[in-house]
Amino acid sequence: MNDSPILLSIAVLGGTGKEGKGLAYRWAKAGYHVFIGSRDADKAKAAAQDLWKMLEGDALVEGLSNQEAAQKADIVVLTVPYSAHRDTLESMKDVLKGKLLIDVTVPIVPPKITKVQMPPAGSAAQEAKQILGEDAVVAAAFHNISHEHLMQDQDVECDVLVTGTSKEARAEALKLVTAAGLTGWDAGPIENSVVLEGLTSVLLNINKQYGSTHAGIKITSA
């Protein structure tokens, strides 16, 4: 995969949601060609148009169906709600072969969103690997970054932990963390994604208890 962000393209599946749209904004601003994917292509086109206007026309952003976006992109980022996680992946197993999938999904199960509830596979990222097959290249990242931070042109005092099926997968994901203007850390193998995903419910509980909306994490003294 080419190291130059200008030559890479990223599909953000579920990109009309708050987190997906925030990540798409950051990467489009950094010079990536971004495909916003959605089950509803018209919604994806509207979201792409919003970002294009925010970036004053200086961006490569397109809105497509999830399937089309994944087909066109070099890297695929999954930001759908957990309720749509399995169906989305199963419908695109063939399209995702040979591509890096960065899974941002958190297994939050309403109404108890402040309670950690992990799936039988261990985590959503491990579930993704099960669905896509043994050779799938999967990384997990961006679970604990508030969309409010992503849509603002300011430094974000919150770090990103990255796990993955290989050191190479984690390294590619970390490039996108940097491109988004964030600080990333290699948090080890995909099995460790249970911690990353579970932290989201912990942070939501902190938000609720202390009247915040965007609690995050910061690695110190590393």
Q: How far is CA 175 from the centre of its chain?
A: 13
pTM for the model:
0.93
Percent of the chain's residues with pLDDT above 70: 96
| Helix ranges restricted to H, the chain | 18-29, 41-54, 66-72, 85-90, 124-132, 147-150, 167-179, 193-210
- The mean per-residue pLDDT over the stretch 70-74 comes to 96
pLDDT at 57: 87
Q: How far is CA 185 from the centre of its chain?
A: 15
The tens digit of pLDDT for each residue in 141-164 reads 999 888 778 888 778 889 999 999
On the question of pLDDT at 79 being above 80, the answer is: yes
Residue 204 CA: distances (Å) to CA of 5, 79, 85, 192, 200: 32, 18, 20, 20, 6
Residue 219 CA: distances (Å) to CA of 12, 66, 157, 197: 27, 34, 10, 16
pLDDT at 152: 80
Neighbours of 25 (CB within 10 A): 26
CA pair distance 80, 83, nearest whole angstrom: 8
In this structure, are strands 100-103 and 9-13 parallel, antiparallel, or unpaired? unpaired
CA pair distance 87, 138, nearest whole angstrom: 17
The tens digit of pLDDT for each residue in 32-64 reads 999 999 999 999 999 999 999 999 888 899 999
178: amino acid identity, one letter: T
Question: How many helices (DSSP H) and strands (DSSP E) are in the chain?
Answer: 8, 8
Residue 191 DSSP one-character state:
G
pLDDT at 44: 97
CA angle 72, 73, 77 (to 5 degrees): 135
Which of the listed CATH numbers 3.40.640.10, 3.40.50.720, 1.20.1440.230, 3.30.530.20 matches domain 5-210? 3.40.50.720
- Closest by CA position to 13, among listed 89, 115, 83: 89
CA pair distance 36, 21, nearest whole angstrom: 8
**In the chain, what are the domain boundaries?**
5-210
| CB of 133 closer than 8 Å to CB of 205 | no
